[in-house]
Amino acid sequence: MRIDPSTPVPIFQQIADGIRGAVAAGVYRAGDLIPSVRAQALTLLVNPNTVQRAYEQLERDGLIACKKGVGMVVCNESIASARNGVDQAMRMLLEQVVQYARSAEINRTSVDRLYRDAWNQSDKRGQSR
């Protein structure tokens, strides 16, 4: 997971989205422990309070649960929920792209080409799924 401080998306949201994406992709499965707040904060070089805020959001969303004496675990029904959350986030981003393109009078063919170029560039960096 990478944090991009230059984006308008708050860091806690980037962390929550990263874990949600990892659950949707099967990196974390039901019953798996996710990194502790402190470990995640050290890995990402962020304040532990920021990680705690992300984890609280994921807990409210039913993706993870606190298991006393163990840590934060992925909930049983979390994969479907995570995929739904990823789909919703992507839809919002794509709607913003479409609105931006329309306001700039960029046609759908050009947007499709830009999307394919971005996808291919991502493949080259080894980020494909």
Burial of 120 (0-12, 13-18, 19+ CB in 10 A): exposed
Q: How many helices (H) and strands (E) does the chain have?
A: 5, 2
* Confidence (pLDDT) at 127: 52
Which residues partner with 104 through β-bridges? none
Predicted confidence (pLDDT) at residue 1 exceeds the cutoff of 50: yes
Which residues partner with 50 through β-bridges? none
CA atoms within 13 Å, Cβ hemisphere of 24: 16
Q: How many CB atoms lie within 10 A of CB 124?
A: 8
| C-alpha radius of gyration, the chain, whole number | 17
Confidence of residue 125 (pLDDT cuts 50, 70, 90): low
* Confidence (pLDDT) at 24: 86
Give 43-100 pLDDT, tens digit per residue: 999 999 999 999 999 999 889 999 988 899 999 877 777 777 778 888 888 888 898 8
Q: Read off the pTM.
A: 0.68
Q: Looking at domain 1-129, which CATH architecture does it have?
A: Orthogonal Bundle (1.10)
